[in-house]
Amino acid sequence: MKAGIVGLPNVGKSTLFNCLSNAKAQSANFPFCTIEPNLGVVNVPDPRLEKLEELVNPQRVIPATVEIVDIAGLVRGASKGEGLGNQFLGNIRECNAIMHVLRCFDNDNIVHVDGSVDPIRDKETIDIELQLKDLETVEKRLEKVKRAAKTGNKEAQKEQATLEKFKSALEQGVSARAVEVTEDEEELMKGFQLLTAKPILYVCNVDEASAKSGNAYVDKVREAVKDEDAEIIVLAVGTEADIAELEDYEERQMFLEDIGLEEPGVSRLIRAAYKLLNLQTYFTAGEKEVRAWTIKIGSTAPQAAGVIHTDFEKGFIRAEVIKYDDYVQYGTENKVKEAGKLSVEGKGYIVNDGDVMHFLFNV
């Protein structure tokens, strides 16, 4: 599961990627600095993992991770191949969610591709390119489906009606994620692989003084996206880069306190990306290791076991489950058992975020 960072050139995408990842993308004051997409595997900050480490004292601790892709800046005409547009749009298609970086700061030393700072115009530029590409996808598919629908094929007729619904919305400049759909239509939509149907998080890149409360540019973005199913996060990307370079933890905390923050903004962003991808965490805790495992929200116990090893899912017998809060309250697995707080769950159990689990299986 990958989240892609998109935006116009020079809005801070590669600097943000560098903050998020140990992989250092080239960052420079000119467009198309990033040609090939950079991929970073980023640890998900989770204080629960630190608490379990403290209680269990394992040999090693392994956090959950999320993949972040730094995609080169889009420009007007990308849907028609301008500025390597086809390649960039293809990179977005391969991602499961989008983090759209919007420039919300003034700085005469950093060139804006359109000559002035206007996050709403920038957002619309990207939206239009993605919508045009989606419209092209929908129209091509409609051509094929219409022929089958004319023969009386009921499934084809359903698909045609759904495609026409999206075609109408896209022609009016409405992204697919903002279209109201039934469960059947939503299922069909997954097969269309529309770029504007992907879940989205808007990252407002601000100056240091606006890191805590945002600014007038951020207010405009909030107003512009209020009808979208989207989250906004405010981040001073340049400041985050400075914080990331500090080796000493106490120095980083002092820096954060000076600008009124309790934790780095990138930590909030990583957790938001994790949520955006519809992911959650369960834990295994033993002397050898305490580990956070990533699963999709709504996963059953056998599916969660399968993340560790496919044999665990095939031969699943049952799962022993301790709620995270109970583990913290009682301190050890044995004390949890003595208190009657360990539950034994079967194949139908839906795993909750933060469950501490042990699987029994037979192969």
> What residues form the annotated binding site for ATP?
10-15
Pairwise CA distance, residues 335 & 340, whole Å? 9
User: Taking a C-beta distance cutoff of 8 angstroms, is the pair 203, 20 a contact?
Assistant: no
If you write DSSP's letter for every residue of 271-337 in order, what string do you get? HHHHHHTTEEEEEEE-SSEEEEEEEETT-BHHHHHHHH-HHHHHTEEEEEEE-HHHHHHH-SHHHHH
Phi, psi of 141 (to 5 degrees): -70, -35
Starting from the edge strand earliest in sequence, which strands make up the sheet with 343-345, in order? 60-62, 289-296, 279-285, 356-361, 316-322, 343-345
Q: What angle do CA 290, 269, 43 make, to 5 degrees?
A: 30
CB atoms within 10 A of CB 225: 19
User: Taking a C-beta distance cutoff of 8 angstroms, is the pair 194, 175 a contact?
Assistant: no
User: Taking a C-beta distance cutoff of 8 angstroms, is the pair 339, 353 a contact?
Assistant: no
Residue 82 per-residue DSSP state = G
Report the binding-site residues. Answer: 10-15
Phi, psi of 216 (to 5 degrees): -65, -35
